[in-house]
């Protein structure tokens, strides 16, 4: 479900799959899309060897090339039109895009599926000159995954609330977002209470960060909840 959801967002015929692991995204793209060139990279040789075995299994060696190396370091300027970075934490995706910003900016599309810090990933997309054109959530194995497609053109930056929840998701998945926001707000209340009651030394930066996030959640629930007059 998640892999097909990512592949469905691919708009162009040349692709780099960064952190390919077993190569499922690259292989699915080769089978479902009219691809001319796919580069599958990974920082570790073990997963890349598994990827190569799967590529050979499906006789796709002529279409999918594998490269060993971190982030975007093995991709050349203007070599691909679409870049997929999925299956890793949001902070790592942010690091990859920042360190390989020149390569990222030379492509036409980014497809990102962060497993954490989606807020930070959305912000970075706009910082490097891209615009989110689509975002969806897919359920796999009891876990919700964000899939973000961004194009290489400037756009109106989101508000803080839109960066946090995703503007497109707010327009189409409001009941789910409200339920998740309520659950997350409850967790943050519990976390703040534990810190205040148990810590010998209070980390003011941590408390301020929690308060900021809780304010965003509370404002969203108050604005979009069932009692907002709509």
Whether residue 168 lies inside any domain: the answer is: no
Taking the whole predicted model, whether its pTM rises above 0.85 is answered as: yes
Please indicate, yes or no, whether residues 180 and 77 belong to a single structural domain of this protein: no
Please indicate, yes or no, whether residues 142 and 212 belong to a single structural domain of this protein: no
Chain-centre distance for alpha carbon 156? 19
Domain extent for 131: 2-158
The predicted-structure confidence for 11-70, as pLDDT tens digits, reads as follows: 999 999 999 999 999 999 999 999 999 999 999 999 999 999 999 999 999 999 999 999
Please indicate, yes or no, whether residues 48 and 153 belong to a single structural domain of this protein: yes
**CA 152 – CA 112 distance, rounded (Å):** 14
Please indicate, yes or no, whether residues 220 and 129 belong to a single structural domain of this protein: no
E strands within 109-223? 109-114, 131-140, 143-151
Residue 94 confidence (pLDDT) above 80: yes
**CA 99 – CA 26 distance, rounded (Å):** 23
The predicted-structure confidence for 214-228, as pLDDT tens digits, reads as follows: 999 999 999 887 764
The average pLDDT across 189-208 equals: 90
Contact 29, 35 (CB under 8 A): yes
pLDDT, the chain, mean: 93
> Which residues are CB-neighbours of 59 under 8 A, at least 6 positions away?
none
Please indicate, yes or no, whether residues 63 and 91 belong to a single structural domain of this protein: yes
Please indicate, yes or no, whether residues 62 and 124 belong to a single structural domain of this protein: yes
The predicted-structure confidence for 97-117, as pLDDT tens digits, reads as follows: 999 999 999 999 999 999 999
Whether residue 169 lies inside any domain: the answer is: no
Please indicate, yes or no, whether residues 138 and 211 belong to a single structural domain of this protein: no
The predicted-structure confidence for 200-212, as pLDDT tens digits, reads as follows: 788 899 999 999 9
Q: Name the burial class of residue 19, with classes exposed (0-12), middle (13-18) and buried (19+) by CB atoms within 10 angstroms of its CB.
A: buried
- Among 43-57, 143-157, 174-188, name the one with the lowest average pLDDT: 174-188
Which pLDDT belongs to residue 211?
A: 95
Please indicate, yes or no, whether residues 116 and 209 belong to a single structural domain of this protein: no
Whether residue 163 lies inside any domain: the answer is: no
Please indicate, yes or no, whether residues 128 and 77 belong to a single structural domain of this protein: yes
Domain count, the chain: 2
**CA 95 – CA 119 distance, rounded (Å):** 14
Whether residue 165 lies inside any domain: the answer is: no
Please indicate, yes or no, whether residues 77 and 182 belong to a single structural domain of this protein: no
**CA 161 – CA 177 distance, rounded (Å):** 12
- Domain end position, chosen among 158, 187, 210: 158
Whether residue 63 lies inside any domain: the answer is: yes
- Domain end position, chosen among 158, 192, 210: 158
Please indicate, yes or no, whether residues 9 and 123 belong to a single structural domain of this protein: yes
Which pLDDT belongs to residue 227?
A: 60
Which pLDDT belongs to residue 228?
A: 46
Please indicate, yes or no, whether residues 73 and 184 belong to a single structural domain of this protein: no
Whether residue 144 lies inside any domain: the answer is: yes
Whether residue 45 lies inside any domain: the answer is: yes
Contact 150, 124 (CB under 8 A): no
Residue 173 confidence (pLDDT) above 80: no
The average pLDDT across 138-156 equals: 92
**CA 162 – CA 147 distance, rounded (Å):** 15
For the domain that residue 42 is a member of, what is the CATH number? 3.40.50.150
């Amino acid at each position: 479900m998640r892999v097909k959801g990512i592949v469905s967002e691919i708009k162009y015929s040349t692709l780099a799959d960064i952190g390919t692991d077993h190569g499922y995204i690259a292989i699915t793209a080769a089978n479902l899309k009219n691809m001319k060139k796919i580069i599958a990279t990974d920082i570790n040789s073990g997963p890349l060897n598994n990827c190569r075995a799967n590529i050979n299994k499906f006789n796709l060696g002529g279409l999918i090339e594998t490269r060993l190396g971190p982030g975007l370091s093995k991709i050349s300027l203007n070599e691909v039109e679409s870049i997929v970075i999925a299956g890793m934490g949001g902070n790592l995706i942010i690091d990859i895009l920042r360190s390989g910003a020149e390569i990222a900016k030379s492509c036409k599309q980014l497809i990102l599926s962060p497993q954490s810090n989606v807020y930070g990933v959305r912000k970075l997309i706009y910082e490097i000159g891209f615009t989110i054109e689509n975002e969806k959530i897919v359920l796999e194995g009891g876990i919700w995954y964000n899939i973000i497609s961004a194009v290489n053109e400037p756009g109106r930056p989101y508000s803080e609330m839109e960066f946090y929840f995703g503007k497109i998701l707010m327009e189409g998945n409001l009941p789910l977002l409200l339920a998740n926001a309520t659950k997350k707000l409850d967790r943050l209340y519990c976390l703040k209470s534990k810190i205040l009651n148990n810590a010998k030394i209070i980390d003011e930066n941590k408390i301020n960060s929690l308060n900021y996030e809780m304010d965003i959640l509370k404002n969203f629930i108050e604005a979009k909840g069932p009692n907002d007059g709509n």
